[in-house]
Structure 1
Amino acid sequence: MSHTTRLKIGISACFFHPDGERKAAPSKTLLWIEQSTAHWVMSEGALPVMVPSLAGDTFRGDVSVAEYAHWLDGIVMHGGADVWPGSYGEQPLRPEWHGDRVRDAYEVALVQAFVAAGKPVFGICRGLQLINVAHGGTLYQDISTQKPGALVHRDAAAYDLNFHEVEVLPDTRLSELVPPGRHKINSVHHQGIKDLAPGFRVEAVSPEDGVIEAIRHTGGPWVAAVQWHPEFHRPELGVVDDTPLLRDFLEAARAARKA
């Protein structure tokens, strides 16, 4: 495959902000992506591109988010830090759940720009939560606190080796990619969707506690997201094969390029 035919897929950045209280902290904001996310995009032949922040005290020039949206063929909204509760009209219930307000603004702008450009948007974990909030939905700030009886959706010690079942709902696009019914997935999140955003449909849930695990926009723009991490896929662990999800996203990106 030549470089001219390869899809160019943006990946939203994670932020590491300066912190004057920690002597080891950097003096400048760092942007980064997880290697596994880039390699997941590359596994089907696409070129991953980290989209930088276009704001902040060091920003110069006139490059816009819209230009990235027109240049790239689609975008993956990365996992990572909590979403700032103010993004959906709430105050943090605990200081450690304050999230990243700067990153929220950056990623909401990305979602809006790619949707406006007719390019597909795929969310992973925080990406699902951010997409839901960007379209008017809300979140549980902490599932175990606000949803009594819920499963352990995040085990800090086990991390990506924390698993539970997900039920893919029938008559959804996801059920055309993954057989409907129950599948094993990894789970690395303590927040989740409380109120689903208008215009979206639930495609998978945690059958034990009803936590939403996958969503898709039902209108014109191609926007879909999962709460688990397909980039952590290891077939020997018996988890669901997420390759069809990536291929579906890339097919939407290819169609957007032709359009």
Structure 2
Amino acid sequence: MMNPPQQRLKIGLSACFSHADPKRALFTNKTLQYVEQSIAHWLMSAGALVVMVPCPTGETARGDVTLKHYAEWLDGMVMHGGSDVWPGNYGEVPLREAWAGDRIRDLYDLAVVEAFEQQGKPIFGVCRGLQLINVAFGGTLYQDIETQHPGAMRHRDPGTYDQHFHDVDLVPGSRLARMYPGQERVRVNSIHHQGIKQLAPGFDIEAWSWPDCVPEAIRRNPGQGRSYIAATQWHPEFRAKSGAVLDDTPILQDFLAACELYRSRPPRMGRSPLHIRDRASRLLRQALLRRH
């Protein structure tokens, strides 16, 4: 028997941005916020209700809805894949203009992570989501793995896109490894050229790419009452045509179980990853006001 809507988990999904473009024929010069349907369908496959969390600020903003309202209402948050992270967020300048990323989306994503962390709600990151989480909590990135990481293999192929794969080694004893007993080396998709250089404090690496050893999965150490935050560099929502990739089901179930556990417990407030409460939200609002 299907669960009624009020019993289903409500999972937030961060927005992708297509910024205003006067040359675009449809929605000319309008900012678009959207989700890629595979990740929404992935979450829905387990019965969760998926809600895109739109950026509440910008030139058309009205009303008093904030990201905090979404963080209080929803049971968990998934950070979407997408564009590069601006190197300035981790103290570097872009080595190439093409690697400058999307600074407005970064501010939005940082504000989302901040809002859900302050509520102590579970957060899961995918691809860019992993990179953004790492930066939000004090880590750094390779702006381009092939350029900066000696001996790196190719982690992104524009031609094959989500059908480009490599192996990863699961860290023995990690929570991720325990989800896949007897599977030490597994195959995943690889659709990124940036990656973790320095891991954020308080996080553990749960998988490494093989053979070049780039972090492929991270999880926040659960000590001291910290809330659930985990992420994968690969896209668990993308399926291989051959079917020869790691089963995504345990990862999804683990995240949703954390959301269910949180919902059954009294609210527990977290801390801002940026150390100043609501700093990311204020920076986002100021940046969008300056643009217009």
Q: TM-score, normalised by structure 2?
A: 0.86
How far does residue 235 in structure 1 lie from its aligned partner after superposition?
Answer: 7.2
Within 5 Å, which residues of 2 pair with 1:81-96? 81-96=83-98
**For 1:231-257, what per-residue CA distance to the aligned partner results, in whole angstroms no more than 9, with x for missing partners?**
002474310101100000000000111
1:17 aligned residue: 19
CA contact (8 A) 2:83 2:101 kept: yes
Any gaps of 5 or more consecutive residues in structure 1?
none
CA distance in 1, matches of 2:234, 2:88: 24
CA distances 1:128-155 after superposition (whole Å, capped 9, x unpaired) = 0000000010101111111132111000
AA at the equivalent of 2:98: E
Contact 2:87-2:143 within 8 A present in 1 as well: yes
Is the alpha carbon distance of 1:113 and 1:23 closer, same or farther for their aligned partners in structure 2, counting shifts above 3 Å?
Answer: closer
Structure 2: gaps of 5 or more residues: 266-292
Deviation of residue 54 (structure 1)? 1.4
Inter-partner Cα distance in structure 2 for 1:51 and 1:97: 26
Show the 5 A alignment for 1:118-129. 118-129=120-131
**What is the deviation of 1:28?**
1.1
Taking the aligned partners of 1:234 and 1:197, their CA distance within structure 2 comes to 30
Q: Which residue of 1 aligns with 2:108?
A: 106
Alpha carbons 1:66, 1:113 under 8 Å: kept: yes
8 Å Cα contact 1:38-1:48 kept in structure 2: yes
Counterparts of 1:96 and 1:184 in 2: how far apart (Å)?
29
Q: Match of 2:252? A: 246
Partner of 1:191: 194
Residue 151 of structure 2 aligns to a residue whose secondary structure is coil
CA distance in 2, matches of 1:201, 1:214: 9
Could you tell me how far 1:57 is from its partner in structure 2?
A: 1.4
1:170-181, aligned counterparts within 5 Å? Answer: 170-179=172-181, 180-181=183-184
Q: Which residue of 1 aligns with 2:68?
A: 66
User: Which residue type is aligned with residue 143 of structure 1?
Assistant: I
Q: Deviations over 1:42-79 (max 9, x none)?
A: 01000111000011111111111111001000010000
Instruction: State the one-letter code of the partner of 1:171.
Output: G
CA distance in 2, matches of 1:230, 1:114: 22
Q: Which moved more, 1:66-75 or 1:228-237?
A: 228-237
Name the Cα RMSD after superposition. Answer: 1.3
Please state whether the residue corresponding to 1:106 is helix, strand or coil: helix
**1:12-65: CA deviations, max 9, x gaps?**
000001234x45473111001000000000010001110000111111111111
Secondary structure of the residue aligned to 2:117 is helix
Q: Which has the higher contact order (CA 8 A, sep 6+)?
A: 2
> Taking structure 1 as the reference length, what is the TM-score of the superposition?
0.97
The equivalent residue for 1:5 is 7
**What is the identity percentage for the equivalent residue pairs of Structure 1 and Structure 2?**
59
Contact 1:119 1:222 in 2 (8 A): yes
1:202 aligns with 2:205: yes
